[in-house]
A and B are shown apart, each in its own frame.
Chain A
């Protein structure tokens, strides 16, 4: 996975983290706007996962396949689960869950880059 793609994902995740954090501080629930931005991130993550599988199939470098596939599958599941778990709470802590989910996406994105480059596996 190229670093520029990772930076886009991380930037989008940071926006979601900041926004969800703001909603938590302001004592708001998850709103439609946050949901749509999270959905945009999710679409990007699915695209990256598909691209990642294709890249893994055609690459000639040695990548830790099991770990890489595990991370690709996990990264597309985090946001939907986080939104579902967070949206079913009627308090400010709903968006709080989204803060955690977005942070996990950032960590997983960075690990994916490292695994792709064969660092720190």
Chain B
């Protein structure tokens, strides 16, 4: 009989890491948009999207709202891959780094690993587990 709550056990640490990224991505995004939005509208808009995704993922994992958590982690996984690739191929649109630039290089590639851990954790704690 395993504990199926998404916010207990290892999930406790996962939520904590998500909260850190929710905070740092939001702060960074607010500063970027408030001070210098015209410099890189695409990058800064994606920065804001990333911030919202992290906030939603943190909230959903902490409260155990599974469908929302699945969605947020999936969007995050796609986002870090797409934005990471765009930031490499169209670097002129990314003069300033975002959380997801170069697959989260500026954050020790944690942004690339985090959604995979999130999805794995949701799978591990799923309701109909044998």
**Complex Cα distance A67/B27, Å?**
9
- Bound-complex Cα distance A93 to B121 (A): 14
Q: Which residue of B lies closest to A81 (CB)?
A: B19
Q: Please determine whether A74 and B23 come into contact, CB atoms closer than 8 angstroms.
A: yes
Q: Among A70, A91, A104, which residue has its beta carbon within 8 angstroms of that of B12?
A: A91
From known contacts A66-B31, A70-B27, A74-B23, infer whether A82 and B8 are also in contact, taking CB-CB under 8 Å.
no
Q: Which residues of A contact B11 (CB under 8 A)?
A: 93
What string of 1s and 0s marks CB contacts (under 8 Å) between A93-121 and chain B?
11011011100100000000000000000
Task: Tell me the count of chain A residues lying within 8 A, CB to CB, of chain B.
Answer: 19
Number of B interface residues in the complex (CB < 8 A): 14
Total A-B pairs in contact (CB under 8 Å)?
A: 39
Q: Is A53 on the interface with B (CB-CB < 8 A)?
A: no
Which residues of A are at the interface with B, using a C-beta cutoff of 8 A? 66-67, 70, 74, 81-82, 85-86, 89-91, 93-94, 96-97, 99-101, 104
Name 22 A/B residue pairs within 8 A (Cβ), A-sorted. A70-B27, A74-B23, A74-B27, A85-B12, A85-B16, A86-B12, A89-B8, A90-B8, A91-B12, A93-B8, A93-B9, A93-B11, A93-B13, A96-B12, A96-B13, A97-B12, A97-B13, A100-B13, A100-B16, A100-B20, A101-B16, A104-B20
